[in-house]
Chain A
Amino acid sequence: MSRAMLEADALVAGYEPGTPIVQGASLAIGAGEILAVLGPNGAGKSTFVKAIAGLVPLGAGRVVVGDVDVTAWPAHQRIEAGLAYVPQIENVFATLSVEDNLALATRGSRAARRAALERALGRFPDLGLARTREAGRLSGGQRQMLAIARALVVEPAVLLLDEPSAGLSPRVVGELFGQLRAIAAGGVGIVLVEQNVRAALALADRALVLVAGRNRLEGPAADVAADPLLAALYVGGVAA
């Protein structure tokens, strides 16, 4: 791994003070790398990435993007540091058009905004054809593409994705993961929280397995896939 683009160090986080869901989890990711964050239901995967994005209060730990410590930054400023987050649900503004959804993320001069918008639409041809449509009228796959396109508008160093494949057909998941591979090839680090373990391990370079809010297993995706612990965690129907 090259120099870390994002480091989350020993995070303790939760919604209620005194009952943390994330209990010391850590991750680091380099440019162009895809890291799958796995674990059974309730392991704290989503809360972990939300805490990195600044949406869940931190009890302890540190979040560093590049050389910048953003631990104390509010969520809306972390984007400026290069950290973009895509939530699992309600990740687009349903009453706004595709264009307006993307425009919300643009910055700078009118010309720069226009160019960023066109770049985002160019990356996802499906969206380019539906630019004036209300996001609420898009298909599930298109919504996910729009949410990711919007996150990419700011040209982030790291993309945090919370279960992007949830509710999508296998064909659409294949398309989506193909896009993620292309995005990573462009140098963006991707942190991918997934329930879809097999697909995630096939895509990722490395994987991290969380259990009860702590790192339990991590390493190259192929090694994690072969580890008997992973099978043990997912057998018994705890997670699909």
Chain B
Amino acid sequence: MTLQWILDGVIAAATLALGATGVTLTYSNLRFANFAHGEFISWGAYLALTLAALAGSVFGTAEVAGPFSFGGRLLLAAGLAAALTGVIALVLDMLVFRRLRARGAAVTAVMASFGVSMSLRALLEVLYTSRPRYYSEELEIAMPLGAGLRATPDQLAVLGLALVTGIGVALLLSRTSLGRQMRAVAENPVLAEIVGIDVAQVIRLTWLLGAGLAAVSGVALGVLVQVRPSMGAELLLPLFAAAIVGGIGSVPGAFVGALVVGVAEAATVRYAGAEWRAAVSFVLLVAVLLVRPTGLFGRQP
């Protein structure tokens, strides 16, 4: 039982990793810290809730597959929610962020993202109230995994999803033409333009990908915990801590950073008490910025 807290930390890290991957991609390509990223997580979770309920009312009762508390219906809803969240991000970019980026006003863009974040959260509370919601009322029993460790099938599914998504995004960046273009835009957008890359298009795809990943992490969090309007905002500091610990721009970095943050939080809860949990990300963030600002995998161009 003694190592159970590590497994709990790793599972928390899985949801964090999906969100942190989005943060690291958008931060490096758009060149500002988007504090509304957490709201993409919440919006993705709620959109999936509504879409799954819609599908449920069309096809009948709630659907459950195998040992999981969810089924293909929620997966489909999650996919659609990811696409819709991407569209929300594109619209926000068109209305707010693109203009500020064009003026080179990164600090203003950060401040504006605070405002956007609050508006998006308030809108969720108006639409859904702040009462916690659940994708399913199914109760899940943790299964023994050996060595005294236990996890629910849902937790293992989220772990698998995070790994597959992470590997997919890492391959996209390293092996595909779009990935190469994204890395080029992150390093030097002017030169990217000169080389013939449609930088505006690459930025749009980055928003879609980043916000889509956030939505997926929101659904994962909703499956494992619950769906609340503040779920994303509360995750914001750990997300940025994970992305910065790993090194902005690096997908493997986002995963390792999420692992560091997730396990450090779990260790703190186990050995110091749950009230210290919120301080962990902050301490890690400050420590990394002081000692190694480029993070574990970040590179100084």
A75 interfacial contact with B, CB 8 Å: yes
A136 interfacial contact with B, CB 8 Å: yes
B191 touches A93 (CB 8 A): yes
Given contacts A79-B195, A91-B191, A94-B187, contact A103 B180 (CB under 8 A): yes
C-alpha gap A100/B183 in the complex (Å): 10
Query: Which residue in chain A gives the minimum CB-CB distance to B186?
Result: A95
Query: Which residue in chain A gives the minimum CB-CB distance to B183?
Result: A96
Which residues from B are CB-within-8-Å of A80?
A: 196
Given contacts A100-B180, A103-B177, A104-B181, contact A95 B195 (CB under 8 A): no
How many residues of chain B have a CB within 8 Å of chain A?
19
A66 interfacial contact with B, CB 8 Å: no
Given contacts A103-B177, A104-B180, contact A96 B197 (CB under 8 A): no
C-alpha gap A136/B183 in the complex (Å): 14
A96 touches B184 (CB 8 A): yes
C-alpha gap A94/B301 in the complex (Å): 6
B196 touches A79 (CB 8 A): yes
Which of B184, B299, B301 is within 8 Å of A104, CB to CB?
Answer: B184
Proximity string of chain B (171-206) to chain A, C-beta cutoff 8 Å, 1 when within and 0 when not: 000000100110110011011111111110000000
Q: Considering the complex, which residues of chain B in the window 191-232 have a beta carbon less than 8 Å from any beta carbon of chain A?
A: 191-199
Q: Which of A53, A87, A95: most chain B CB closer than 10 A? A: A95
With both chains docked as a complex, state the minimum distance between the C-beta of A141 and any C-beta of chain B, in angstroms: 19
A104 touches B197 (CB 8 A): yes
C-alpha gap A121/B188 in the complex (Å): 23
A105 interfacial contact with B, CB 8 Å: yes
A150 touches B183 (CB 8 A): no
How many Cβ-Cβ contacts under 8 Å join chain A to chain B?
59
B193 touches A93 (CB 8 A): no
A216 interfacial contact with B, CB 8 Å: no
Proximity string of chain A (82-115) to chain B, C-beta cutoff 8 Å, 1 when within and 0 when not: 0001010011111110001001110000000000
Majority DSSP secondary structure for residues of B touching A = helix
Q: Considering the complex, which residues of chain A in the window 53-88 have a beta carbon less than 8 Å from any beta carbon of chain B?
A: 53, 55, 74-77, 79-80, 85, 87
With both chains docked as a complex, state the minimum distance between the C-beta of A79 and any C-beta of chain B, in angstroms: 4
Given contacts A87-B191, A136-B301, contact A76 B196 (CB under 8 A): yes
Query: Which residue in chain B gives the minimum CB-CB distance to A92?
Result: B191
Which of A87, A94, A103, A136 is within 8 Å of B194, CB to CB?
Answer: A87
B199 touches A76 (CB 8 A): yes
C-alpha gap A40/B181 in the complex (Å): 37
C-alpha gap A104/B202 in the complex (Å): 13
Query: Which residue in chain A gives the minimum CB-CB distance to B181?
Result: A104
A150 touches B177 (CB 8 A): no
Which residues from B are CB-within-8-Å of A149?
A: none
C-alpha gap A105/B181 in the complex (Å): 10
Which residues from B are CB-within-8-Å of A5?
A: none
Proximity string of chain A (12-40) to chain B, C-beta cutoff 8 Å, 1 when within and 0 when not: 00000000000000000000000000000
Q: Considering the complex, which residues of chain B in the window 136-180 have a beta carbon less than 8 Å from any beta carbon of chain A?
A: 177, 180
C-alpha gap A76/B198 in the complex (Å): 6
Which residues from A are CB-within-8-Å of B181?
A: 104
C-alpha gap A74/B190 in the complex (Å): 12
**Interface of B toward A, CB cutoff 8 Å:** 177, 180-181, 183-184, 187-188, 190-199, 299, 301
14 A-B contacts (beta carbon < 8 Å): A55-B190, A55-B193, A74-B193, A76-B192, A80-B196, A85-B194, A87-B190, A91-B191, A94-B301, A95-B301, A96-B184, A103-B180, A104-B180, A105-B196
**Interface of A toward B, CB cutoff 8 Å:** 53, 55, 74-77, 79-80, 85, 87, 90-96, 100, 103-105, 136, 150, 154
